[in-house]
Amino acid sequence: MRFLFPYFGILVLAACGSGPQTPEEHTRKGDQLLAKGDTAGAQAAYRVALGQDSLNPDLLAKLGRIYAGQGKSQPADIYLRRASDLTFRQAQNALQAGDPAMAREALEHTLAINPYHPLALLRLGDMALEQGEEDRALGYFEQAIAANPEYAEGYAKAGKVYLRRQRYEDARSAFERCIELNINSIDAYLGLGEMHLSQQNPGAAAENYRKVLLIDPRSAVAKAALANLGEHP
C-alpha cells in the first residue's frame, strides 16, 4: 500500500497543474465562462487572476462590468474607477516621458473603460489641438463638459476654440461659466480679455486683464496686453 501514496500524490499534482495557472489563463477561462453565461464562474476566475495581477486595469474593468450587470452599483463604480485611474496614470506617465503615441493609446483605453472620464477627454483634446485638429479637439472638450458639467477646465478649453472661430457668444458663455465654477480661472479671464479686444472693447478687455493680475501679479501675458492697450497694470 505504501507504493500507492507517491502515485496518488503525482495524480493530485497533475490534476492541479492541468487548470489555469497564470493571470492570462485565468482571464481567458473567465472570458469563456462569461460567454457561456456563467457569471459567477467568470467572476471567480477574474478574482483569481486579479489576485496575481492586482494592477491590471482590464481585470478590474471586467469585474466592474459584472457588478454593474448585477445591479451592484457601489462595487461596480469602485472597480471601474480604479481601472480608469490606472490607465489615465499610464497616459500621464507617457506624456511626461515624451511618448504621445503611448499616451494616446492609454487615454483611449481609459475611455474604453469609462467613456465619461473628463480628464481623459480633455487631454485628448489638448493633443488634437497640438496636431492642428481643431474640430476634433472641440469635440473632446464638449464631451468633457457633458461628462462633468461642474468641471471648470472644460469650459475654458472649449471657450478658447470658440474664440478662435469667432463664436463670441459661445466663448463668452463658456468663459463665464468657467468663472462661476472657479473664480480664479486665469485662462477664462484671459479669454474674455482677448474676446473683448476682438470686439473692439478695450475697456472691458483691460478689466479682465487686471483681474488676471489680481490672481497672478507676475502674469506676463496680462501685463503685455495692458501695455499694448496703454494701460498701467
At residue 233, the pLDDT reads 65
The owner of cell 494701460 is: 231
At residue 17, the pLDDT reads 53
Residues 42-78 have pLDDT tens digits of 999 899 989 999 999 999 999 999 999 999 999 999 9
How far apart CA 149 and CA 120 sit, in angstroms, is 15
193 lies in a domain? yes
pLDDT beyond 60 at 11: no
95 lies in a domain? no
4 lies in a domain? no
Q: Residue 222: count other Cβ atoms within 10 Å of its Cβ.
A: 25
* Domain count across the chain: 1
Q: Which amino acid is at 149?
A: P
94 lies in a domain? no
228 lies in a domain? yes
CATH of the domain at 191: 1.25.40.10
CB 226 within 8 A of CB 217: no
DSSP string of 129-178? HHTT-HHHHHHHHHHHHHH-TT-HHHHHHHHHHHHHTT-HHHHHHHHHHH
Q: Residue 98: count other Cβ atoms within 10 Å of its Cβ.
A: 8
166 lies in a domain? yes
**Lowest-confidence region among 7-21, 33-47, 63-77, 122-136:** 7-21
How far apart CA 130 and CA 173 sit, in angstroms, is 24
185 lies in a domain? yes
At residue 23, the pLDDT reads 87
pLDDT beyond 80 at 1: no
How far apart CA 178 and CA 189 sit, in angstroms, is 9
49 lies in a domain? no
At residue 20, the pLDDT reads 72
How far apart CA 13 and CA 77 sit, in angstroms, is 39
At residue 15, the pLDDT reads 43
The x, y and z cell numbers of residue 195, run together, are: 474676446
Mean pLDDT of the chain: 90
More confident residue, 49 or 15: 49
Domain that includes residue 196, residue range = 152-233
